[in-house]
Structure 1
Amino acid sequence: MLLVLNGPNLNRLGRREPGVYGSQTLEDLERQCEAWGAELGESVTCRQSNYEGQLIDWIHEAEEQGYDGIVLNPGALTHSSYALRDAIASQPLPVVEVHISNVDAREAFRHVSLTAPVCRGKISGLGFLGYRLAMEALTESAS
């Protein structure tokens, strides 16, 4: 069972900077993740919040709710949230950080991830496909 978490502003996919993030919506992404999960034999729960504390609570609760891993797109919290970093580090589940855009080819402040060092891996710049690759990695590591 995999948990897919999307952070601040990802609810604006399809309307927010389509030249950077594309024209597909969060709902499109969630449907795609559920379909990919079915292909991998995994049930997938998708959640999005613009609130740091909500994301932290979901990370804290994931293991006791039976999840095997977390796909996390922390949005801009990637570069600013020590609290989110500590939440990831405080629990045992593998987490793969995902970004739709290539954060290393964007503004300088996006080049530093506070969360990636405590994640199993990081995938950036491959659009929605990055979520599938993260799910595959988590499924492989669970078997």
Structure 2
Amino acid sequence: MKVTERFEMGKPLRREPSMLRADTYNRARLLLSESGQEALFVPIRPMQYLAVIQAGEFVFVDGLGPRVVQFIWHRFRTGERQALTDPVAFELVCFRPDAGEIVQRLHVELSRALALQASRRRRPAPTGTVLPFRRQPVSDR
């Protein structure tokens, strides 16, 4: 089912480099890939935010009232990692003046929300079939 959402975006107040934990980035990309959609909507209920995960950016929208963009995490530099377990550098764009504490909390709450969403999407492990192994009698020479 295709969903169309419209978001309002003001003028960016600040841009700065930041880092995202590897497990959070990897899980977001995996869930996006598994969804088969262009965007993955992840509610961050404790903060009343909605994360919109796309291939090139994570957009954080105020979950209450009008859909106003609060933060954008984009320009992920995954090519700079030496391993999949290394953090990912990105550019943080802030649209509100009191971003410091909120961004720190977003890192934690996004990770939790992604883990919750992943646990709900888990498919049961495929069942296997054990094939009988028939031994050939060993002939004496």
Pairwise same-fold verdict (TM > 0.5): no
TM-score normalized by structure 1?
0.28
TM-score normalized by structure 2?
0.28
Which protein is richer in strand relative to its size? 2
Which protein is richer in helix relative to its size? 1
**Rg larger in 1 or in 2?**
2
